[in-house]
Structure 1
Amino acid sequence: MRVDLSLLVHIVYICTQFYQVHSLNILGVFPYQGKSHFFVFKPYLEELARRGHNVTVISCFPREKSMKNYHDISLADKVQVLEDVFPIKRSYYTIFQISVFLLSTGTSNCESLLADENVRNLVKSKAKFDLVLMELFNSDCGLGLAYKLGAPVVGLSSHQLMPWHYNRFGVPYNPSFVPFLLLEGGTKPTLYQRVERTIFDAYFNTAYKYFGQRVDQNTLAQYFDDIPPLEELARNMKFLLLYTNFLLTGSNLLPSNVIEVGGYHVAKPKPLPSELRKFIEESEHGVIYISFGSVLKATTTPIDKIEAITAALSELPQRVIWKWEGETLPGNPKNVFLSKWLPQNDILAHPKVLAFYSHCGLLGTTEAIYHGVPMVAMPIFGDQPSNAAAVEESGLGVQIQLNELSKAKLLEKLRTVLDPKFNQRVKKLSEAWHDRPISAMDSAVYWAEFAAQHHNFTFRTAAADVPLYQYLCLDILSVLIVLFLIFIGILKTLLKCIFTSKSSLQRSNKSKKQ
């Protein structure tokens, strides 16, 4: 059989262009006990294992069933998993409580991580890893472990940037237009909100440096005597895979080594349980889904706010599915399906689900934009205020604050997102969100493989190394001010000389006339 030589050459050429990656030995470091956080990372770690990489995962959430290439080092017996533990309330005091929570859990996670015998054995045995993947949240302790193992690091997030991440990655933080994770205002804050952001940004950065990072450095020193400053190690990370997407959170001034990969946790929807499916499909006017996440406890909502919610829902023809830890709701409304656990992604994927009333965690928000479901966002704590602002600014939904929640206000917000025209705009937004050259999962996998393959290169932006006085252009301003003062001084001297000379000439002429 005759073979076309040009076709054969063409096929060989195409085959040689594929990016070849050998099987990597990857260590995942995820000591934080937040279930909602690990829910993001788990599909990614499993996908790396499916693609042939050997993945060892340190976490509080070991797999129930074994998986090829996936190995657990469990910390589950050392911590209490965080689920349905935080009350629904919001104030400056709760923000202060968040700072205490972040620092205390971060330092305790570091202690649990380093105290684990299996973790220490990795260092003792001089285990060889091509890459360390670690969550960037409340502790940099994992960076010390990666240093001892001599492996490059890629950071992962399940949220927007924390306050202490901006400087290390050289990301500009300007309170005039950059949202602050824990506060309202989005990209258009008021003067009050800008002052508020400036104060809280300084507070969180200072608290993290002295009561988080410094404590972790001392904890590491108990086990290893040669760990460089953690902030120095943090600045040498290869990449940060940021769990956002600009269509939701807006355009950002991100350097090349901070890459948006928001959406990779969203799985193909599974069939709903029969009772739940029947409740949805028999709804003549569609369904409203309500959930305040896995960490907030819905039953702690103030009774007057619950009554306002149920009263507003009773005015609408839609059925309601509500994640609720109790057995009943006040008033026992008939059109409400209650459950302590719900398959959120599968519910949001159903075409009869018309609105999502949410605390605005980033996972649920991402699932909402993925499936094109309009949101009523009621932020409570953590990153929820900045997520809620992004929801409103992107057009995915509207906001309502807990302190303004009333029957009339909630009805207004629900009717807004239930409007068919609003729904159509959200569907268009969802289409744009999906329209990307490479999937979020493929992008996250690619950059991890890239970091391991090219670990000798530094991808840090120069902005991360610029001293503060240069970053703020204080040296330039000083030079310009000095030059201006010199100019004023010279001008003043010249004018003085001119007036003195003129005055002398006038006196001379006057004396001659006399």
Structure 2
Amino acid sequence: MKFNNIIILFSALFSQVLSLNILGVFPYQGKSHFFVFGPYLKELARRGHNLTVISYFPLKEPIDNYHDIKLSGKVLEDVFPIYRSYWTIIETSLFLKNSGQENCITLLENENVQRLWKTEQKFDLMLMELFNNDCALGLAHKLGLPVVGLTSHVLMPWHYEDYGIQYNPSYVPVLFLEGGTKPTLYQRIERSIFHVYLVYLHKLTCRRNNQKTLAQYFDDVPPLADLAKNVKMLLLYTNYVVSGSGLYPPNVREVGGYHVTKPKELPQDLKKFIEESEHGVVYISFGSMLRSTSTPKDKLDAIIAAVSEIPQRIIWKWEEKTLPGNPKNIFISNWLPQNDILAHPKVLAFYSHCGMLGTTEAIHYGVPMIGMPIFGDQPGNAAAIEESGLGVQIHIKDLTKELLLEKLRIVLNPEFRRKVKELSKVWHDRPQSPMDTAIYWTEYAARTANYTFRTPASSVPLYQYRIWDVTAVILAILIIFIYSIKTVISLVQKRREDRYYEFKTK
């Protein structure tokens, strides 16, 4: 009897550490996106799970349990200009549409990817980036895998309906546009129009084209709209402390922060520049997708003039060897270890384009921000930065030397910086670290593969979701009631008139 109990105990222990065989599909070539996913994927491998990762970003140094399938194509970096208009929003939306279809074709054409389904390779789970195409959902269906979706940003407009999350322009930002949770009437109109435009552009073009591409390889893929609603878990790269509270169903979990790694030793020249600064340092970077050198000359002059008047030293991610005027208090480089810089206690402020990675690192280390959003989720991030108290925002069309100096003085104020440090403590105050949270829900999705936790709202027809049918019935009843009352009054009135006429004729 005791021997049987020992066998049961060992079996239970073994089942707890049994590793998962995971397929990761990351078909978008944006470098900044994969910066987020990389640490999470490596940590899964470190914890004993076996990963096969399809992406444009193979590991430079192999690690145990991690196997790459490299997609061919150009990595996207430094490709967006620093200006914004309605036309650039349209251009960006068309880029998302076109690249989504190209990513789908590139994914399915890859011989190593094809080998996965042709050899019927077995996996327990698929991880996929949810961004500009749904092609991997068809592959997951073919392989019979539950799906965990990942983002490196806020929800895309077309994901609200997929997960049954209500979109309300009165308080929910939309990609590319400003206003935060307190938009003006004009901004609400803007949001409503662009939200509908982006959702139906994705549905009617990218999703439909993905379906046609999948049909060239598989003859049994259900509509992608249905597969999108069956994603087991979505790990959303936000956190309510900065991004604001959202009404999410149980299968959507906020995990913002897991890409932030332990800071490393800074290069000696950079470390010396920071530590010898008497009044601290301001860090300037517009990320990997924007070229500082494409900044309009008048705006560049305004930035240089403003930072030349403050006592702090400046570290600036700049793609050329020299900066106009060669200011002595500015350290420039085309690559900088951003996480390690922001971790240094002498770095007092961060002037940024408000990408999610930089914003997350800033709140992690308690560094106040000046946000200058350009495209994508950046306007919404900038509004969240200001509303949460992490920093202030400035729009490039309004940028002048005087305005930037005003914003710099705000974030460099010791009292403002103290409040940001307090906000950072709130951000860190969680039952689990962001990485542990992300991995827990990943493993949970595999353990509960036969169950679904999506909200019924994701499958309710639109007319029911918006209660148009109920509204129509109530309006019909009101109309019938009013018409009936009006008819009764008319009949009563007519009868009175008839009696009066009879009385007069007698």
TM-score, normalization by structure 2: 0.96
Candidates 6, 25, 30, aligned match of 1:29 = 25
Corresponding position of 1:397: 391
SS of 1:376's partner is strand
SS of the equivalent of 2:16 reads coil
Residue 83 of structure 2 corresponds to: 89
Letter in 1 for 2:366: G
3-state SS of paired residue (2:350): strand
1:412-431 matched pairs, under 5 angstroms: 412-431=406-425
Distance 1:503 1:103 in 2: 70
> More displaced, 498-507 or 21-30?
498-507
AA partner of residue 148 (structure 1): K
Gapped runs of 5+ residues in structure 1?
1-12
Paired residue type of 1:46: K
The yes-or-no answer on 1:286 pairing with 2:287 is no
- Is the partner of 1:20 in helix, strand or coil? helix
Q: Is the 8 A contact 1:21 1:449 kept in 2?
A: no
**Are 1:48 and 2:44 counterparts?**
yes
Task: Please show how residues 104-123 of structure 1 align to structure 2 within 5 Å.
Answer: 104-123=98-117
The alignment's C-alpha RMSD in Å is: 1.7
SS in 2 for 1:403: helix
* 1:461-472 correspondence to structure 2 within 5 Å: 461-472=455-466
Shift of 1:469: 1.2
Q: Deviations over 1:276-312 (max 9, x none)?
A: 1111111111100000001111111011111000000
Selected match of 2:353 from 341, 356, 359: 359
Relative to structure 1, is the Cα distance of residues 392 and 17 closer, same or farther in structure 2, using a 3 angstrom cutoff? farther
Question: What amino acid does structure 1 have at the position aligned with 2:42?
Answer: E
SS for the counterpart of 1:444 is: helix
Distance 2:239 2:289 in 1: 23
Structure 1, 118-127 or 91-100: larger mean CA deviation:
91-100
2:70 maps to what in 1? Answer: 74
The equivalent residue for 2:368 is 374
Displacement over 2 Å in runs of 4+: 16-22, 496-511
Task: For residue 30 of structure 1, report the CA deviation from its aligned partner.
Answer: 0.5
Q: Secondary structure at the match of 2:362?
A: helix
Which of 44-53 and 204-213 deviates more?
Answer: 204-213
Q: Which residue of 1 aligns with 2:437?
A: 443
Residue 5 of structure 2 is matched in structure 1 by none
* Greater Cα offset, 153-162 or 103-112: 103-112
Amino acid in the other structure paired with 2:382? A
Query: In the alignment, does 2:222 pair up with 1:205?
Result: no
User: SS in structure 1 opposite 2:126?
Assistant: strand
Name the aligned partner's letter for residue 25 of structure 2.
Answer: V
2-side partners of 1:338 and 1:509: how far apart?
A: 103
Instruction: Write out aligned runs for 1:8-407 (5 A).
Output: 20=16, 22-75=18-71, 78-407=72-401
Question: CA separation in 2, counterparts of 1:488 and 1:62?
Answer: 70
SS in 2 for 1:452: helix
- Asked if 2 retains the 8 angstrom alpha-carbon contact of 1:153 and 1:239, the reply is yes
Q: Distance in 2 between matches of 1:21 and 1:100?
A: 45
Q: CA deviation at 1:19?
A: 9.7
Secondary structure in 1 matching 2:200:
helix
Distance 2:282 2:14 in 1: 46
Q: Report the more deviating stretch, 328-337 or 468-477.
A: 468-477
Secondary structure, in 3 states, of the residue corresponding to 1:65? coil
Cα drift, residue 18 of structure 1: 12
**SS state of the match for residue 472, structure 2?**
helix
Distance 1:44 1:487 in 2: 61
In 1, distance between residues paired with 2:15 and 2:503?
92
Deviations 1:77-111 (A, max 9, x none): x2111112222111111111111211111111111
Corresponding letter in the other structure for 1:159: H
Moved more, 437-446 or 356-365: 437-446
The answer for unaligned runs of 5 or more in structure 2 is 1-8
Give the partner amino acid of 1:36: S
Tell me, in whole angstroms, the C-alpha distance in 1 between the residues paired with 2:498 and 2:55: 88
Q: Distance in 2 between matches of 1:186 and 1:20?
A: 44
Deviations 1:439-480 (A, max 9, x none): 111111011111111111111111111111112211111111
**What is the alpha-carbon distance in structure 1 between the residues aligned to residue 477 and residue 211 of structure 2?**
45
**Which residue of the partner structure matches residue 3 of structure 1?**
none
Shift of the alpha carbon at 1:193?
1.0
Alignment-derived partner of residue 4 in structure 2: none
Aligned counterparts of 1:418 and 1:506: Cα–Cα separation in 2: 87
Taking structure 1 as the reference length, the TM-score comes to: 0.94
Question: What's the secondary structure of 2:351's corresponding residue?
Answer: strand
- Measured in 1, the distance between the counterparts of 2:14 and 2:297 equals 60
Aligned residues: 498
